[in-house]
Chains A and B, each alone.
Chain A
Amino acid sequence: GQQVMQIPQYQHVQEGEDFTTYCNSSTTLSNIQWYKQRPGGHPVFLIQLVKSGEVKKQKRLTFQFGEAKKNSSLHITATQTTDVGTYFCAGFLNSGYALNFGKGTSLLVTP
């Protein structure tokens, strides 16, 4: 089964509120990637984190990689309707060749 767990499954916020999704792995990850999928679309790469404790920012999005490299989070400040979609984290299995996705967090933003 899937070794990368993601919570929550759904999140409904009012525009302007903050949003956070969490990703946990049962094993240490070499790196972790985040993707966004708009409704009806395909996943699009957002970022990759490699170093323990790494924090990266993309405008209103903040990505963190845990010290033990087993968890990660994506935080969106002051959500906008354009943030609507499903956010996936993904990490490589032990073989190093298979990217394992979490089930995703679907974000709905109402104006």
Chain B
Amino acid sequence: NAGVTQTPKFQVLKTGQSMTLQCAQDMNHEYMSWYRQDPGMGLRLIHYSVGAGITDQGEVPNGYNVSRSTTEDFPLRLLSAAPSQTSVYFCASTRGSNTGELFFGEGSRLTVL
């Protein structure tokens, strides 16, 4: 099993460009989530999903869209990138809704110029 796979690992965008961060897990986990990590701010929840077809907003959802068409995939879309979205993004999945460990991907480092 590969666990949680994120692509790309690094990306540089110009302000206003759009892109999608991909996340896939092969553990048949129902719960998936996206976090961003900024220096001194810890991990902040962007969006999460409790199953295919169900998504909800986290603490910092503005500027990001998500969808969950399959159990395996949970892409994060930036429609019009801004410098404030420069960050490291982590995708995570877990078997249960409020129990059990989160499995994290290796992260995607995004720079918006």
Q: Which residues of A contact B (CB under 8 A)?
A: 1-2, 6, 9, 30-31, 33, 35, 41-45, 48, 50, 88, 90, 92, 96-104
The answer for the CA separation of A100 and B58 in the assembled complex, in Å, is 9
Q: Find out whether the CB atom of B45 lies under 8 angstroms from the CB atom of A100.
A: yes
Return B4 CB to nearest CB of chain A, in Å: 9
Selected from A41, A44, A92, A102, the residue in CB contact (under 8 A) with B42 is: A102
Is B99 an interface residue, CB under 8 A from the partner?
Answer: yes
B71 on the A face (CB < 8 A) = no
Residues from chain A with Cβ under 8 Å of B50 in the complex? 97
Interface of A is mostly: loop
CB distance from A34 to the nearest CB of B (A): 10
**Residue pair A48, B100 in contact (C-beta under 8 Å):** yes
Sort A-B residue pairs by CB-CB distance and give the 5 closest, nearest first.
A45-B101, A103-B42, A101-B43, A42-B104, A96-B98
Contact B104 A44 (CB under 8 A): yes
Given A42-B105, A96-B97, are A101 and B90 also a contact pair (CB < 8 Å)?
A: no
13 pairs, CB–CB < 8 Å, chain A vs chain B: A42-B90, A42-B104, A42-B106, A42-B107, A44-B104, A45-B101, A50-B99, A97-B50, A97-B98, A98-B33, A99-B102, A101-B45, A104-B42
